[in-house]
Amino acid sequence: MIISIASGKGGTGKTTVAVNLALALEGAIPIHFLDCDVEEPNAHLFLHPEIEHSEKVNLPVPVVDESKCDGCGKCAEVCAFNAILAFKSQTIVLPELCHGCGGCTLLCPRGAITESPKEIGEVETGRAGKIKFSHGRLKIGSALAPPLVNAVRRTADGRGPDGGLVIVDAPPGTSCPVVASIKGSDYCVLVTEPTPFGLNDLMLAVDLVRELDIPCGVVINRAGLGDDTVSSFCSGEGIPVLLEIPYDRKYAECYARGGRLVEDFPKLRDALCGLWRKIAESSGADRDGMVRRREMAEI
Amino acid sequence: MKELLVISGKGGTGKTSVVASFAALADSKVLADCDVDAADLHLLLSPEELESHEFIASRLATLDEEKCIGCGRCSEACRFGAIAMADGYPVIDPISCEGCTVCSHICPEGAITMVDAISGHWFVSDTRFGPMVHAKLKAAEENSGKLVSQVRRKAREIAERQGLECIITDGPPGVGCPVISSISGVDLALIVTEPTVAGVHDMERVLDLTRHFDVNAAVCINKCDLDEGNTERIEDYCCAEEIEVVGKIPFDEEMVKAVVRGEPPVARVSGGHGYVEGFGSGHEAGSADSRKCSDGKAAQAIRRLWDRVQDRLWQDADSGE
């Protein structure tokens, strides 16, 4: 089963929820944690994984063999990303604009284009206690996050550990890197805060998960700090509010220093186990008898 | 004309509240919201929409089933997993389609054509603080970088036409495509961070990015009293990297209250009349702001921050080319 944690707005507590959910369930269920926020990966700061394997991720970008190129300009014509400039005497590739679609290589009538790998980032995999951990780190200056997100997702090959759980920590926003992160999830938890910013961005995130046809529920973080428009929106839309984490400066301080809420505040451990039970019930995980018995016994 | 970009790496550090405050404090400016995925600045500036434009930047593959012979070459050639074969015929997933056009070129029957897709909208608006350019990318869309470029182009055009002194831009989180589009050629990138382990980590990455693109950077620490140790770490890091910490804003619930009210946390008071500079005609909401807006510790810190940012914007430029 794959649960993704997303938000629309940044800084609402995605990583907090994802990390502490993983820690609350550690030992009871096999967990593979995927930090898919490859632009700004943060989960490692809380989980401190031991990295066992690291791999560079490349995008195939075109290389033009000048001796074969006759300057026909077909490559520039087919490139939808303006990554090739063709002049009669020279063909110039702009690798930072290339999406790696392979069109130019495939369609060059002279066979003058081959592809060479361009590094866009790396994926690291390891363990944090009993939690399997993977994250990606986009190379600074590289613009294309989705291929790297896909590489992180592939480390959990399909559904993840047998009878267990893949927890995806998604990046903020609603565009392609988020789609790559949450696509194919069985459930999406949308973390928000009770402010007009939180509400606005939650509405966008709800549009996105509906577009992708993923069932979702909401966690309201810093409850009590703003207003109640988020709750009203959720009840109006029939979206379950799975958990409210009250605003407490002690929680903020724990987060600030890289602490683990479930270890410092037992109440929050119970709350996150409760979150998991609600997700498992509503997403039908109990139907396959997957985790429910063990979860009841152990959590 | 100067361009100030406010970014953070990590989301939720207070970029938009800072930009909205600058909007209230600055004299002659156009505002731009380049967080096109999850734009929030409009929630504090209540823009009145003057123009709305469709944003068409990509094309989607569409199949003519009559012509398709089910050879499957499109599915083989697609590197984005957007074409699956079902019952011997291709099915195109518009969400995965990158618009690369390879399938349309490779199809021997000419059964795939590319059609324009509306990826979002962009707007020119009037606010009580000045003109504003903003955008809304549709959910699950690509091309956020191109939409950012469009917003910036329009903001520059307005600034030039109206002879405005600066562009103040609310940037997106992260270090990827939309941030790279936002950062090129700005006069100063103000990085709003917070004293949390994640805030420090993400600030370091975003400073790597400003260095990579050779952009002038300065740092502001929001909620600086949340964790003094991390605030010191940020200051030490910046000191070692020769990046100026231009402001420190203490945690103040008034900031959240202002967001809930839908107003900038700081209002400009001029001439002792409690009147805020308005833009265009018929905007008198400013006077209400200055009554409500606190002059609490965060608001005062933001005023000092703006003074220093102005110095940096104009002084850095003078010492540059």
Looking at the fold, whether B224 and B103 belong to one and the same domain comes out as: no
pLDDT, position B317: 55
The answer to whether B29 touches B165, Cβ cutoff 8 Å, is yes
CA distances from A215 to A12, A184, B5, B104 (A): 20, 11, 37, 34
Compute φ and ψ for B275, nearest 5 degrees.
-110, 130
pLDDT, position A37: 98
Half-sphere exposure at residue A295, Cβ-oriented, CA atoms within 13 angstroms: 24
Determine, for residues B102 and A9 on separate chains, whether the beta-carbon distance falls below 8 Å: no
Q: What is the pLDDT of residues B284-314, one digit of tens each?
A: 444 444 444 567 899 999 999 999 999 999 9
B225-284 residues touching A, CB cutoff 8 A = 226-227, 229-230, 253, 256, 259-260, 262
Q: Which residue of A has its CA nearest to B79?
A: A101
Q: What is the pLDDT of residues A109-155, one digit of tens each?
A: 999 999 999 999 999 999 999 999 999 999 999 999 999 999 999 99
Q: Which domains does chain A possess?
A: 2-57+121-298 (3.40.50.300), 66-111 (3.30.70.20)
Q: How far apart are CA A149 and CA A38, in angstroms?
A: 7
Q: What is the pLDDT of residues A180-192, one digit of tens each?
A: 999 999 999 999 9
Closest CA–CA distance from residue A255 to any residue of chain B (Å): 7
Average pLDDT rounded to a whole number, residues A38-42: 97
A4-33 residues touching B, CB cutoff 8 A = 8-12, 15
Judge whether residue A32 has pLDDT over 50: yes
Closest CA–CA distance from residue A293 to any residue of chain B (Å): 36
| Sequence-ordered alpha helix ranges (H) in chain B | 15-25, 42-45, 73-77, 102-106, 144-162, 177-183, 197-212, 228-241, 253-261, 285-292, 297-319
A177-196 residues touching B, CB cutoff 8 A = 177-179, 183, 195-196
Q: What is the pLDDT of residues B13-51, one digit of tens each?
A: 999 999 999 999 999 999 999 999 999 999 999 999 999
Judge whether residue B264 has pLDDT over 50: yes
Name the token pair of B69.
């012979």
The answer to the question of residue B115 being in a domain is no
Determine, for residues A226 and B40 on separate chains, whether the beta-carbon distance falls below 8 Å: no
Judge whether residue A290 has pLDDT over 90: no
Examine the fold and report which residue of B110, B128, B147 is the final residue of a domain before the chain moves on: B110
Is A297's Cβ below 8 Å from some Cβ in B? no
pLDDT, position B142: 82
The answer to the question of residue B250 being in a domain is yes
**Which of B129, B263, B145, B99 is closest to A177 using CA atoms?**
B145
Looking at the fold, whether B106 and B197 belong to one and the same domain comes out as: no
Residue B87 belongs to domain with CATH number: 3.30.70.20
Q: How confident is the model at residue B316 (pLDDT cuts 50, 70, 90)?
A: low
Looking at the fold, whether B83 and B23 belong to one and the same domain comes out as: no
Range of B163's domain?
2-56+120-319
pLDDT, position A283: 74
pLDDT more than 70, % of chain B: 90
Average pLDDT rounded to a whole number, residues A233-240: 97
The answer to the question of residue B251 being in a domain is yes
The total domain count for chain B is 2
Looking at the fold, whether B289 and B312 belong to one and the same domain comes out as: yes
Q: What is the pLDDT of residues B88-119, one digit of tens each?
A: 999 999 999 999 999 999 999 999 999 999 99
Determine, for residues A143 and B140 on separate chains, whether the beta-carbon distance falls below 8 Å: no
Average pLDDT rounded to a whole number, residues B252-267: 91
Closest CA–CA distance from residue B319 to any residue of chain A (Å): 27
Which one has a higher pLDDT value, B281 or A288?
Answer: A288
The answer to the question of residue B255 being in a domain is yes
Tell me, what's the ipTM? 0.90
Looking at the fold, whether B173 and B301 belong to one and the same domain comes out as: yes
**Which of B297, B296, B299 is closest to B264 using CA atoms?**
B299
pLDDT, position A285: 55
Instruction: Say if strands B48-63 and A113-128 run parallel, antiparallel, or are unpaired.
Output: unpaired
The answer to the question of residue B234 being in a domain is yes
Looking at the fold, whether B125 and B205 belong to one and the same domain comes out as: yes
pLDDT, position A287: 46
Average pLDDT rounded to a whole number, residues B150-178: 97
pLDDT, position A139: 97
pLDDT, position A161: 52
Which residues from chain B sit within 8 angstroms of residue A97, using beta carbons?
A: none
Average pLDDT rounded to a whole number, residues A207-222: 96
Looking at the fold, whether B84 and B39 belong to one and the same domain comes out as: no
Closest CA–CA distance from residue A122 to any residue of chain B (Å): 14
pLDDT, position A297: 41
Looking at the fold, whether B194 and B96 belong to one and the same domain comes out as: no
Looking at the fold, whether B184 and B255 belong to one and the same domain comes out as: yes
Measured between CB atoms, which of B145, B177, B197 is closest to A257? B197
Q: Which residue of B has its CA nearest to A43?
A: B198
Judge whether residue A26 has pLDDT over 90: yes
Looking at the fold, whether B187 and B220 belong to one and the same domain comes out as: yes
Judge whether residue B260 has pLDDT over 60: yes
pLDDT, position A120: 96
**Which of B178, B175, B177 is closest to B191 using CA atoms?**
B175
The answer to the question of residue B69 being in a domain is yes
Q: Which residue of B has its CA nearest to A173?
A: B37
Q: How confident is the model at residue A230 (pLDDT cuts 50, 70, 90)?
A: very high
Name the token pair of A37.
């926020």
pLDDT, position B141: 86
Closest CA–CA distance from residue A205 to any residue of chain B (Å): 8
Q: Which residue of A has its CA nearest to B172?
A: A173
Average pLDDT for chain B:
91
The torsion angle over the Cα atoms of residues B164, B170, B175 and B181, rounded to 10 degrees, is -40
Which residues from chain B sit within 8 angstroms of residue A144, using beta carbons?
A: 176-177
Determine, for residues A9 and B12 on separate chains, whether the beta-carbon distance falls below 8 Å: yes
pLDDT, position B270: 52
pLDDT, position B144: 87
Looking at the fold, whether B19 and B134 belong to one and the same domain comes out as: yes
Q: How confident is the model at residue B280 (pLDDT cuts 50, 70, 90)?
A: very low
Judge whether residue A299 has pLDDT over 90: no
Looking at the fold, whether B220 and B105 belong to one and the same domain comes out as: no
